Structure 1
């Protein structure tokens, strides 16, 4: 269990270190993160709370793979930069090598002999004494650049095995997590879903707004009082439920000119989505053309809608704690060759899945960025 307590601090420390290290060191640190995740996965079966432990393992793998991709991308960019520099300096390097060769080619008396006699010889010696350190400095810089190129190329050539192990590890962790969630019996339940009532509600729904509004009005039987933290205390500081980039903000038009009140996020395939707060599951399953949808109710009248997942976890009526897995994004993990290709071209266009987030207060949608931190001004 101690390993799980260290996992997230490790990721944070490594993240700080990456900001201050060169590309090669950044990639090595990322590899260490993946190794730590592998160790944690091996220990997860003995954890008392397997769902929590495996959630941390999946996050650790995702963070390590993200960091490794970033490190490889930086390494590739740096290698290309050095290559361009060395190419542009070919003439200068040739002259440098020629000068060094001529300085070291003859015996000292010949090198120091000057046709103008002792005075000229003295001046030549002084010039040589001034020039030689500069030439040596240029040689040292050239040697360092060439050594860095060798290191970066070696790192990239050896990355395939590390990536393969990481992708296999995160897939195993996701599979174990799905099993652990299926076996979970410890979640409190506020009510039991009426499948007929839910089916009728879906059949009569034409929009997400209509469905969410109907949920607000829907009375459920067997409601139990379960104390949940006041969600308004976290307004504006909630962490995003998945590692992602914002594609479209609230009210921004898409390619078809459609404007939605929520956020559209770009995620990597199979990314884990978690509950940002403790909440009751009001709905989970397919809805309209949104794919699988999860609707959470942190408190009466407040709904968080997450749409577009491949798989959703839990049952309507259950109360999930903050950070609990609620779903997985779809898609397929890219092949090793594709990841390395994306790294080498510096694009990193590997966020192929989209998650839609909508927040509703009462029956009205509000800008999710009034609740979630998205680095809007960053």
Structure 2
């Protein structure tokens, strides 16, 4: 009856344990995310001494954003997995309790009496054969349950441990954003190609009642000429970590259709130049909030609208990946981050960036330039 007693111990563990999981993919993902946040902290430590502080701090902010996104996803999947196992165990609690009662009775009954059968030696033999067949199957089931409980325990411990890495990560990314804003403001080495006079820009703003008229005037005044026939930019990365909310020309909730796309982003997400480009304009524009207009090639404009903060100066030529602004919103504290990651609810990407691409006077679908996927 040693096998029966081992099974009994396993079943007792099932009924007594508070819930848990063995190392599964969600746990591994969350651990990797915590490590990436620590790596981002190392980048932040070295950024102040870097030759190009703007580039180093941009890489640091991006690393923090990626680490926090991965941690959020890992914790969410870990929570879903834990709840699924807990529901399964709860659904089987009565069954397991009955089985435990049977096993307790078996354990308390002397082995000699347990194998005796009222019908005599043949019945006793059959009973022994049945017990020998059932016990391994029950043992296997108990091992599965034990693994599930260990998995739940691992995930719960992981969520507790993530709080420390998360607090450091949220503080670190804020420090990196502040340092980046300062480094951009202090930058003096960028070349300048075109700089419209303040009076010309002011006049253009005052006389433009649409983004279309403003962009057309800006392209005309830039002195770069129309786009070359047949010229096409290579596929470019998105300027911000986000997901497609509205496609080109789609109507929004207010019934307005615009010749651009809208990306949903997280608060304070970093916006970067997808390609080397000249800054033709940066600042508020009509009802678009803060806008930055880039010219990556003659006659081709990229308009990014809805930023809370814009970087750079008109006429600067910024390299690909250079920071051009930050999205709005407020950074969550650790408690709010964990609650959103584990409980869900609400939008984790409440900010929106509007992107418009123009070739001369004509808006074109940004999907032809960027890889746009709905999440």
Q: What's the counterpart of residue 181 of structure 1?
A: 184
Q: Does 1:107 align with 2:105?
A: no
TM superposition shift of 1:92: 1.4
Counterpart contact for 2:170–2:333, Cα < 8 Å: no
How many residues align? The count is 348
Counterpart contact for 2:194–2:222, Cα < 8 Å: no
Matched residues in 1 for 2:351 and 2:59: separation?
A: 22
- SS state of the match for residue 158, structure 1? helix
Q: What's the counterpart of residue 218 of structure 1?
A: 221
More RCO (CA 8 Å, sep 6+):
2
Counterpart contact for 2:248–2:261, Cα < 8 Å: yes
TM-score by length of 1: 0.88
Q: What's the counterpart of residue 127 of structure 2?
A: 124
TM superposition shift of 1:35: 0.6
Which of the pair has more CA radius of gyration? 2
**In the TM superposition, what whole-angstrom CA distance separates every residue of 1:308-350 from its partner, at most 9, and x where no partner exists?**
1111111111101111101000110123232222223334721
**In the TM superposition, what whole-angstrom CA distance separates every residue of 1:79-131 from its partner, at most 9, and x where no partner exists?**
11112111111121112222322332233222222222222222111111111
Q: What's the counterpart of residue 7 of structure 1?
A: none
Q: What's the counterpart of residue 232 of structure 1?
A: 232
Q: What's the counterpart of residue 284 of structure 1?
A: 282
- SS state of the match for residue 344, structure 1? helix
- SS state of the match for residue 236, structure 2? coil
Picking from 14, 23, 28, the partner of 1:25 is 28
Structure 1: 5+ residue stretches without partners: 1-19, 224-229
Matched residues in 2 for 1:183 and 1:110: separation?
A: 89
Picking from 305, 313, 316, the partner of 1:315 is 313
Matched residues in 2 for 1:109 and 1:178: separation?
A: 81
Q: What's the counterpart of residue 327 of structure 1?
A: 325
Structure 2: 5+ residue stretches without partners: 1-22, 225-229
- SS state of the match for residue 282, structure 1? strand
Matched residues in 1 for 2:344 and 2:65: separation?
A: 20
Counterpart contact for 2:243–2:373, Cα < 8 Å: no
Q: Does 1:166 align with 2:169?
A: yes
TM-score by length of 2: 0.89
Matches within 5 A, 1:129-148: 129-148=132-151
Picking from 34, 38, 52, the partner of 1:35 is 38
Counterpart contact for 2:196–2:222, Cα < 8 Å: no
Matches within 5 A, 1:37-116: 37-116=40-119
Q: What's the counterpart of residue 154 of structure 2?
A: 151
- SS state of the match for residue 358, structure 2? strand
Counterpart contact for 1:297–1:304, Cα < 8 Å: yes
**In the TM superposition, what whole-angstrom CA distance separates every residue of 1:219-256 from its partner, at most 9, and x where no partner exists?**
55xx8xxxxxx97241xx21111010111111111111
